[in-house]
A and B are shown apart, each in its own frame.
Chain A
């Protein structure tokens, strides 16, 4: 009898310690993909954010602060990468999602609440987004995005405008060696339109082209019933990266109107950049075929020497506002603040040095007076 009671007591104790250690773990361990910014790291983030916001404001973009969650359908429809969306169910049974990006939220707002606002509409946003993906390159599952959206402007002018805003943001941050890679979904899209192959084979083609795998492409082409001229176009696609000469090279390959129109458009943008003495930051990249499904025209990614991942990306997504009920052209981009923070070290003002240390004995009135005169104080408690 006694032994049994002891066993019972032991097991209860055991359960308690287990529960305690489990609780402990949940406080020390932060969920994978989250992070905590403290002190200098937090200030660095804010300094970068403010610098970029001031550039956006300088180009007459107005801030939009959308909710951190919305109906799941908004993101599933607008953004697409369903497996990366954090979703949950509210008490009424609605399926909601934490925002994985801003663009679909902003597009929805423009197509609904701002539907009768005069165009163009220029908006910028800054905040955290959440994606269930492998934390990589300084970007966690929760990460900071800052970007702009331009709705209802003429295509060419709006495309150039958002690119110029991106250029100024880099310059404002003191980054000189940045490259903006400019491509178009319509160039490759026009080629694919002409190829009559089942979707699986098109996907297989995209897969090898996406990683510029020449031998994989060759092996695949052997099995595809395409005429040699089309095969040669596909062989050339991965190499179509560089300056203006790339556009001429691409012209010699394609004749379909969609691709040709894309080349005309890129050439016009490039020429404008040449006239502005900014073409050194622009690379034409027709071999880039990645990108969210919502892109419909130009597509760009920005790289900085010394960082293995892109720091900004964007493009045109005319179909997105239409998906929410209002057909209005749209273009925009976003920066990854976490990645920028790795390559930019903004000069932080040293708060401690500027603050007058006020001894608590000397009374709180002194502290109030200093504060009213705009001085920083630090009470010696």
Chain B
């Protein structure tokens, strides 16, 4: 089965499973969105009226089908609490989160892969040990703590970076970059640390292979051995870890956006969960599922570029 065909088949199944699960969980969770929306002085009649307006008085399956049939026509429904279409709401919050995630990925890849590879130059050496300690710390430290530490050092003590907020790219690259660096670094620390460890392990394993030893014996320069031979062998596990981490980055934005006061999808998710805003939660979840699918697809496709033998194995 080709990667594309697999994606085409699994996408709708995954979408249904994920959205139905979330819908069921929200329905089972304590609380009633109609109560919140009706306000603190609402009577029982007011709450019943709001419940009927939102269609919450219908059966669970009818509510889900109503939402799903809307999705088929591109209508993700209206946010309960914000009185605006969910698609519009998500679009308005997409840029900060996308910026944050993309910059964090770049930082994680550059730092993680770079440090991981450098650590293998002299295994057991000082630099290798420093990378080991730093990456262990990076994995162990909670993201919110790293974020607060960065704010304390760079925004409050050195005063070189803003502490909170987000400036859209349309208002200039410099202010955008200034506002995105600290949260992106905080978000990148954990994936970078994990990538560094995986890269180190994979590269060392590749370096032990017979053909690498042969290449060294032949006197091929180290940089050429790394780029031509090691990268091909070590690349697949690294890209696999990266794919998993990218999918998890979206979860991390929930915490980081709160710490840095960024109004993105993470804070939207928190507000929506607390406010029982089911259409918005489903919209965000559908988007997250789509991101995971796309990332998985890209990871699968990248295997063929890293090591063409993979494609041959699949084809065979």
User: Do A and B come together as binding partners?
Assistant: no
Residue numbers of A with Cβ under 8 A of B are none
